[in-house]
């Protein structure tokens, strides 16, 4: 998934032209897909335990711009808010608290398997 997300992020900034329109313009037809790709890419960078604060911050700024289209996000099937929640938890914990892998799984309603860090976040 991370490799696919990296490809989408690259395409979202590409000025290469195909059929008279840039790849960036083609990619922006699915802005929520681009938003999700940035979130997945940033999440992978955080989990790699690298010093990637600025990259993650830029991904969050991209997300902020997309939130101007709130009605479309709310009506979409894209799990944008789940991605943002995971990113928020990772950003809060990148340098001090490590979340368990199970903490990043989609919620099933049973939080008994979550770590104490998840429940206190």
The one-digit pLDDT tens for each residue of the chain (121 residues) are 788 888 888 888 889 998 899 998 988 888 888 888 888 887 777 777 666 666 667 777 777 777 777 788 778 887 777 877 777 776 665 555 566 667 766 777 777 777 776 676 5
This prediction has a pTM of 0.51
Residue 71: strand, helix, or coil: helix
Residue 17: strand, helix, or coil: strand
**The tokens 């709130």 sit on which residue?**
70
């Amino acid at each position: 998934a991370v490799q696919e997300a990296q490809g989408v992020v690259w395409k979202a900034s590409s000025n290469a032209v195909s059929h008279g329109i840039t790849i960036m313009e083609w990619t922006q037809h699915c802005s929520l897909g681009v938003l999700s790709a940035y979130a997945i890419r940033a999440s992978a960078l955080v989990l790699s335990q690298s010093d990637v604060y600025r990259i993650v911050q830029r991904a969050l700024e991209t997300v902020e711009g997309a939130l101007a289209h709130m009605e479309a996000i709310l009506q979409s099937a894209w799990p944008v808010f789940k991605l943002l929640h995971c990113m928020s938890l990772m950003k809060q914990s990148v340098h001090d608290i490590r979340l368990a892998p199970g903490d990043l799984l989609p919620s099933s309603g049973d939080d008994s398997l979550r770590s104490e860090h998840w429940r206190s976040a």
